[in-house]
Amino acid sequence: KAGVTQTPRYLIKTRGQQVTLSCSPISGHRSVSWYQQTPGQGLQFLFEYFSETQRNKGNFPGRFSGRQFSNSRSEMNVSTLELGDSALYLCASRSGTSSYEQYFGPGTRLTVT
Amino acid sequence: AQSVTQLDSHVSVSEGTPVLLRCNYSSSYSPSLFWYVQHPNKGLQLLLKYTSAATLVKGINGFEAEFKKSETSFHLTKPSAHMSDAAEYFCVVSDPASGTYKYIFGTGTRLKVLA
């Protein structure tokens, strides 16, 4: 099975712009979660989607949003980018049944200048 | 509330010697615990998981971990380090019984393997 894929892998944006990141989960997986990784804050949970519904949301401002499509692919959007949004954004998929483990993609490296 | 503490931010070992990466957790429910490895500029790879079955868990690449409820610990070990083990390791707790599958990550331990 193909793993979790994320596009693009690298992105450079200017402060104030918005960005959309994409994630395709492992085939058959219905849950997608997003995490932000920074040197200062480490890995932090953003949100989880399951069958197109947001199940959980972390402590991030409303500028961070996401959605999931009927094919389980997910997108994350960040509006009005700030310098502090520079990070590695990781997507993880889970089968959504009784398994708890998540499988991560390679991440999207976002740099805000 | 859940939390994870990785007791060492950096660990150095010589190739061929044992590895011990320490992790303590706090959880209100029956936790699921995981260890992940992250190589430079890569995503996270699952090493092993504990989900209330056997307390000694074997993972990939010769790693194993023991769940000790009385000590609230889930330390990662490997009998003999290899150069390719040099990476950052994350201990993770999740409490599905609390209604969420979200991961709470430790701050990571960077493992250095000396030739």
The separation between the first and the last C-alpha atoms of chain B, rounded to the nearest angstrom, is: 41
The partner residue sitting opposite A103, judged by closest CB among B42, B46, B107, is B46
The partner residue sitting opposite B43, judged by closest CB among A33, A44, A105, is A105
Antiparallel, parallel or unpaired: β A10-13 and B64-68: unpaired
Spell out where B51-103 has E strands.
56-58, 64-68, 73-78, 87-94
For the segment B32-67, what is each residue's pLDDT rounded down to a tens digit? 999 999 998 888 999 999 987 788 999 999 999 999
Distance CA A109, CA A8 (A): 8
The confidence score (pLDDT) of residue A97 equals 67
Q: How far is CA A108 from CA A7, A35, B43, in A?
A: 7, 11, 10
Check if the beta carbon of residue B22 is closer than 8 Å to that of residue B75: yes
DSSP states of A4-63 = -EEE-SEEEE-TT--EEEEEEPPTT--EEEEEEEETTTEEEEEEEEETTEEEEE-S--TT
CA B46 to chain centre: 9
Task: Say if the Cβ atoms of B102 and A43 lie within 8 Å.
Answer: no
Distance CA B102, CA B42 (A): 21
Q: How distant is the Cα of B72 from the closest Cα of chain A, in angstroms? A: 20
Chain B hits for A94, CB-CB cut-off 8 Å, are 101
Pick the more confident residue, B97 or B47.
B47
Chain B hits for A48, CB-CB cut-off 8 Å, are 100-102
Q: Which residue of B has its CA nearest to A5?
A: B43
pLDDT in tens, chain A (113 residues): 789 999 999 999 999 999 999 999 999 999 999 999 999 999 999 999 999 999 989 999 999 999 999 999 999 999 999 999 999 999 999 987 667 899 999 999 999 99
Task: Say if the Cβ atoms of A107 and B43 lie within 8 Å.
Answer: yes
Q: How confident is the model at residue B96 (pLDDT cuts 50, 70, 90)?
A: confident
Antiparallel, parallel or unpaired: β B10-14 and B3-6: unpaired
Portion 23-82 of B in contact with A at CB < 8 A: 32, 34, 36, 42-46, 49, 51
Task: Say if the Cβ atoms of B43 and A104 lie within 8 Å.
Answer: yes
Cis-peptide, bond into residue A61, ω within 30° of zero = no
Distance CA B83, CA B66 (A): 23
Distance CA A46, CA B82 (A): 34
Check if the beta carbon of residue A46 is closer than 8 Å to that of residue A14: no
For the segment B6-20, what is each residue's pLDDT rounded down to a tens digit? 999 999 999 999 999
Q: How distant is the Cα of B44 from the closest Cα of chain A, in angstroms? A: 6
CA B53 to chain centre: 17
